[in-house]
Amino acid sequence: MSSMSYEPTQIFFIVLSGIILMLLMSGFIIVMVLLHRQQQLRNHQKMDSLRAEYEKTMLKVEKEIQDQTLSFIGQELHDNLGQILSLTKLTLNSPDEESFSEGKRLINHAIKEVRSLSKRLNLDWVKEVKLQDFISNELQKIEASGFCKTQFETNVEALTLDQDKKLVLIRIIQECLNNIIKHAEPSVIYISLMEKNDALSVTVKDNGKGFDAEDKSKGMGLHNLKSRIETIGGTLNLSSIIGIGTEIKLLLPFE
């Protein structure tokens, strides 16, 4: 029976090879661990950045809605409530009983208006209002002002949205309508609110002047709208033709 024997030099090279292999494996593992930790750090930094951007967006949206609400309340106090109270004063100056009854009715109406306005001083109304009701009310106000005709189409009956998402959508729709009123000169504003393929779709369209969507001087507002919808996981697409009108489509996937 024969046995295999190794020269001391061979044994040395075998041991040395084993050590080198172990060092290479150890080095590879260390490099992989370091790369993994760097990736984790980058992911944490990205998440922190996204979270900060989200919080910044929400704070800005809340402030803008509050500012717009205060502007609306100031206008209502001047144009609506002020007119009611002036009419009440004139009515109560008359001595007959019928005028007194009409004055009481006007005072009750003024109290209701004050209560309604007080509810809008904070953002609690966002929790209560349905998105479809908000859109319908905004379009009714535009049409009642005589600015232009409006159309609203929806297949949404029961819609549950996170308050922050609803807040952002409300602000984007407000901004779209403000831009139309300021610049578009349309005869019709059309909005649709649809549930499609596990997503909420909002389309805001007008038949006004349109504009060059590639014009960088008009791109900042669009960039802000895109940034906001992306913050809550949605997308925005705009198309506009000069002399034909503008269409903005928002798509927000359901969780």
Please state which CATH class domain 126-255 belongs to: alpha beta
Q: Can you tell me the mean pLDDT for 139-165?
A: 89
CA distances from 241 to 112, 197, 213, 214, 221 (A): 45, 28, 8, 11, 17
Count of helices and strands (H, E) across the chain: 7, 5
Q: How many of the other CB atoms lie within 10 Å of CB of 180? A: 22
For the chain, give the mean pLDDT: 83
- Residue 1: pLDDT over 50: no
Q: What is the pLDDT of residue 111?
A: 84
Q: How far apart are CA 169 and CA 229, in angstroms?
A: 8
pTM: 0.64
Distance (Å, whole) CA 217 – CA 96: 63
pLDDT for residue 67: 75
| Band of residue 51 on the pLDDT scale cut at 50, 70, 90 | confident
Q: List, for residues 67-114, the tens digit of each pLDDT value.
A: 777 776 776 776 677 777 877 877 877 777 777 788 888 888 788 878
Handedness of CA 94, 95, 100, 102 (dihedral sign): negative
Asked if residue 123 lies in contact with residue 65, where contact means CB atoms within 8 angstroms, the answer is: yes
Q: What is the mean pLDDT of residues 38-58?
A: 79
At 220, the pLDDT band (50, 70, 90 cuts) reads low
Q: Give the domain ranges of the chain.
A: 10-122, 126-255
